[in-house]
Chain A
Amino acid sequence: MSTTQINQLLTFKLGNETYGIEINKVREILTYPVVTPIPDASCWVKGVINLRGEVAPIIDLRVRFNINTQPVYNERTIVIAVRTQDARMIGLVVDEVSDMENVDLDKLYPAPDMGASIAPKYLKGLFKKEEKMIVILDIDKILDKEEMQRLSRHSQEAASHVLAASA
């Protein structure tokens, strides 16, 4: 990507840390709606909702990245609806939406290889604002169709192992 301007980020909280995604990916911000669960989906796929007439999956980023495996869903839980590069509409569950931030995507600190529960390939980089750190997520990588399918196959296999063990 050679387009290097100042990008606006939408920042939100997952657990104690602040994360950011590019604002032009965001379509809508809504409170946690009634979600229809998908029978064979991974634990981080909460289900599907009706988003502007489309059937959109809801992904809980907190569960996805092991930030909080027992999250609460109440009227303060926020869903950020994003549109991916390949035009899929997906809702992301976050703890709270914080702010907007102007960030020069060229001047990011690279994400460290170790010591993060989010693999570096899912990150665009780190941004330092005063004494705070904003982790900038690469939403297209996280929500990549094949990546998601690979992960859900994994969890299915794991589940079937558990079943086999219990039987």
Chain B
Amino acid sequence: MAVFDINKYRQMFLEEAEDIFEIIDNILLEAEDAGDMDNETINSLFRSVHTLKGNSASVELAKFAALAHELEFFMDKLRNGQLSFEESMASLLIDGVDTLKHILELELSDELEHDYFMTTKKELLYKLDNFSQDIKEIELLNEHSSVEESKVQMEKEIFVQEIVEIPAFGMLFPRESNAYGAVNGGAIDDSEDEGFGFFDELELVDDNGFGFFGDTEIIDEEGFGFFGEPELVEDEGFGFFEEPELIDDEGFGFFDEPKIIEYKKVQAPLTEEKKEIEVKDNEAKDGKKFKVDSVSNSIRVDLSKIDGLMNNIGELVIAHSMLTQYTFMMQDQKIKSELSERLDLLDRYIRELQESVMSVRMIPMETVFSKFPKVIRDTAKKLNKKIDFRHYGDNVEIDKAMIEGLTDPLTHIVRNAMDHGIESVDRRKAAGKSETGTLIMSAEQANGQMIIKIQDDGGGINLAKVTEKAIQNGILDESQAAQMSKDDKAMLIFAPGLSTAEAVTDISGRGVGMDVVMSNIKKLGGVVKVETEEGFGSTFTIVLPLTLAILDGLNIRVGKEQFILPLSAIIETLKPEEEMIKQIGDEESEVLMLRNEFIPVIRLHTTFNITPENHKLSDGLLIVVRSGAKKIALFVDEFMNQQQFVIKPLDKNFRNAQGIGGATVRGDGTIGLIIDTMNITQNSTRRAS
């Protein structure tokens, strides 16, 4: 797999862009309807365009990016309140976005002429600048669209002619026939449109292209066989497409000739292609060719369907444990043991089913990482910096649903690290560092959580400058700033609109990136932290929950309440001797002296506000658990059985509670709370200060 196959990345970008365009369109259409737009909407609109701009630049769609930049600039003004939203703005923006789409198509098919681009851009700018002059603008709008149409038309015509002149090239065959087919249909314009659409796809298609075009050998054979006898080609071509009933039949006289076997392969995609064209012909000519064809052996399934499946399995697990619990109460030993045996079998099948459904959702982190070498290379070139990118944990699997929300924040962090973090070659030399900066991305799964780190060895964050800027922007006042710890100050970079960069570049500096990072990670239910050392670089740590995971847990009892502790977090359990318990300072700060370690003890009764059964640690039990990089010992009254639990979010209907990572439905239908060891530590350390 070539690392820098631009088409693969363009394909990815296009899929994303499709979604983003959809979002933008919806926002704008709504705004047009309502005649108003609130700040939140403007912000999300701005972010969408920002993402489009950034991503398109990284797949070398410079013109598209330039245009998106103009739109972004305009929206920035809206966002800052330099302009206030007016009703007619929505339609202007919708038109602007349409122009953007149009340019994208042209640029992708390499058909974007410089002059045309310049006029389009100028017109757009003109409209944006003269916004207040409504009437003038509408006139211009109409004019513009007609100009645009005729211009495109012309280009397309030229294009078609060119192709007809060199018919010996196999690849052109289907295109030509498209044109013919549509000509027969009597819609010349559309056929030409299709021609363009078709080539768009061809450029983008990578692995999941049409079987036909993917296989060059066949194409060649096909092309030559076909065009070797030009007269016949034309006759047959017409004959074929003039008879629509044959098409539906899928048995074209022409292709059925058995002497060239490969044709059979050709048949199916061609028919599809043809059908699609027919459908499109019937559609209004809105020029929407924004479709990526994917004829491959994988299917795109809506994640909500898989979620539904997971939920069903979850219910199955619950029903199973209800049955198991019921079996325990049986009197007849013979029936009991036989039933248990069968239940065990059922249990195994359910687990297998669970695993296969989970595996549908899980994909290796490599898919995420593989996006970055290209981004980094380009950005490094642009910034004239030398950067060595390394990534670890390629095989760590991550939920597909997470990836979609993760790519944006990761890209922003990487861009920021490169632009602001890693210094220029000269500065690095001056600081006594090696010329090449290092950027490390790693992924690991620990404690039922996904931990992703992005580490650079750059100059770190200038905390003083960040704080100063935050005060300037009114995010906090000076007395607040004085009280803040170093880590808290570093977190300020996630505040909206905060950028310490002097100039706005197309890589970063507008101060949107980092608040996108924060909001996206939060949306995934995760946390992002930053540690920075001036002169030595910064590390961003993203901790994501594995929300979907079905977890193996241990039931523990604290007072009269029962909780569930994730097995993955448990290191060991013990009944402590009195001399193992030491105190630091007051009575409440107990530590467990275990072999060569001192482990802080947390009484769960205190954390959860429950009347304890045992007061002395040596009367109860201690569970040593992992909490991030540290170890803590939890004091409980009893531990009970071990079981599988389906994690359900607590904050879907309610909110998150301290020390609680989620909930589950127990065998008896009640809710059990799952302890989050990471969260518990945070609380008690806060208490200590």
Residues of A in contact with B (beta carbons under 8 Å apart): 33-41, 45, 47-50, 53-57, 88-90, 145, 148-149, 152
The contact sample of 16 A-B pairs, CB cut-off 8 A, is: A39-B607, A39-B609, A39-B610, A39-B660, A39-B673, A40-B659, A48-B663, A48-B671, A50-B669, A50-B671, A53-B314, A53-B315, A55-B650, A55-B671, A88-B652, A90-B654
Given A55-B652, A88-B652, is A40 in contact with B657 using a C-beta cutoff of 8 Å? yes
CB nearest neighbor in A for B669? A50
Q: How far is the CA of A57 from the CA of B651 in the complex (A)?
A: 10
CB nearest neighbor in A for B315? A53
Pick the contact of B657 from A39, A53, A88, A145 — CB < 8 Å?
A: A39
Q: Are A54 and B653 within 8 A (Cβ)?
A: yes
Chain B residues with Cβ below 8 Å from A41 are 657
Q: 8 nearest interchain CB pairs? A: A39-B608, A57-B654, A36-B671, A88-B653, A55-B663, A50-B665, A48-B671, A34-B670
Q: Are B653 and A57 within 8 A (Cβ)?
A: yes
Which of B654, B658, B665 has the largest number of chain A CB atoms within 10 A? B654
Tell me, rounded to whole Å, the shortest Cβ–Cβ distance linking B336 to chain A. 26
Chain A residues with Cβ below 8 Å from B665 are 50, 53, 55
Pick the contact of B653 from A33, A35, A36, A56 — CB < 8 Å?
A: A56
358-404 of chain B: CB within 8 A of chain A: none
Residues of B in contact with A (beta carbons under 8 Å apart): 311, 314-315, 561, 607-610, 648-650, 652-655, 657-660, 663, 665, 668-673
Q: Are B653 and A90 within 8 A (Cβ)?
A: yes
Q: Are B663 and A149 within 8 A (Cβ)?
A: no
Pick the contact of A55 from B609, B610, B648 — CB < 8 Å?
A: B648
Q: Are A48 and B654 within 8 A (Cβ)?
A: yes
Chain A residues with Cβ below 8 Å from B657 are 38-41
Q: How far is the CA of A145 from the CA of B657 in the complex (A)?
A: 14
Chain A residues with Cβ below 8 Å from B658 are 39-40
CB nearest neighbor in B for A34? B670
Chain A residues with Cβ below 8 Å from B311 are 53
Chain B residues with Cβ below 8 Å from A145 are 655
Q: How far is the CA of A39 from the CA of B650 in the complex (A)?
A: 13
Chain A residues with Cβ below 8 Å from B561 are 37
Q: How far is the CA of A139 from the CA of B612 in the complex (A)?
A: 37
Q: How far is the CA of A50 from the CA of B311 in the complex (A)?
A: 14
Q: How far is the CA of A104 from the CA of B663 in the complex (A)?
A: 41
Chain B residues with Cβ below 8 Å from A89 are 653
Q: How far is the CA of A45 from the CA of B653 in the complex (A)?
A: 12
Chain A residues with Cβ below 8 Å from B669 are 33-34, 50
Chain A residues with Cβ below 8 Å from B610 are 39
Tell me, rounded to whole Å, the shortest Cβ–Cβ distance linking A92 to chain B. 13
Tell me, rounded to whole Å, the shortest Cβ–Cβ distance linking B563 to chain A. 9
Which of A33, A35, A55, A148 has the largest number of chain B CB atoms within 10 A? A55
Q: Are B670 and A50 within 8 A (Cβ)?
A: yes
Tell me, rounded to whole Å, the shortest Cβ–Cβ distance linking A55 to chain B. 4
Q: How far is the CA of A79 from the CA of B660 in the complex (A)?
A: 25
Chain A residues with Cβ below 8 Å from B668 are 34
Chain B residues with Cβ below 8 Å from A56 are 653-654
Tell me, rounded to whole Å, the shortest Cβ–Cβ distance linking B652 to chain A. 7
Chain B residues with Cβ below 8 Å from A88 are 652-654
Can you name 4 extra interface pairs (CB under 8 A) apart from A50-B670, A88-B654? A36-B663, A48-B671, A57-B654, A148-B655
Tell me, rounded to whole Å, the shortest Cβ–Cβ distance linking A38 to chain B. 5
Pick the contact of A38 from B648, B649, B673 — CB < 8 Å?
A: B673
Q: How far is the CA of A149 from the CA of B655 in the complex (A)?
A: 8
CB nearest neighbor in B for A143? B653
Given A53-B314, A54-B652, A55-B654, is A38 in contact with B670 using a C-beta cutoff of 8 Å? no
CB nearest neighbor in B for A145? B655
Which of B649, B655, B663 has the largest number of chain A CB atoms within 10 A? B655
Tell me, rounded to whole Å, the shortest Cβ–Cβ distance linking B341 to chain A. 29
Given A36-B671, A36-B673, A39-B658, is A55 in contact with B608 using a C-beta cutoff of 8 Å? no
Chain B residues with Cβ below 8 Å from A152 are 655
Tell me, rounded to whole Å, the shortest Cβ–Cβ distance linking A114 to chain B. 32
Tell me, rounded to whole Å, the shortest Cβ–Cβ distance linking B267 to chain A. 48
Pick the contact of A40 from B609, B653, B663 — CB < 8 Å?
A: B609
Q: How far is the CA of A41 from the CA of B315 in the complex (A)?
A: 27
Tell me, rounded to whole Å, the shortest Cβ–Cβ distance linking A149 to chain B. 6
CB nearest neighbor in A for B650? A55
Q: How far is the CA of A35 from the CA of B671 in the complex (A)?
A: 7
Q: How far is the CA of A37 from the CA of B559 in the complex (A)?
A: 13
CB nearest neighbor in B for A148? B655
CB nearest neighbor in A for B311? A53
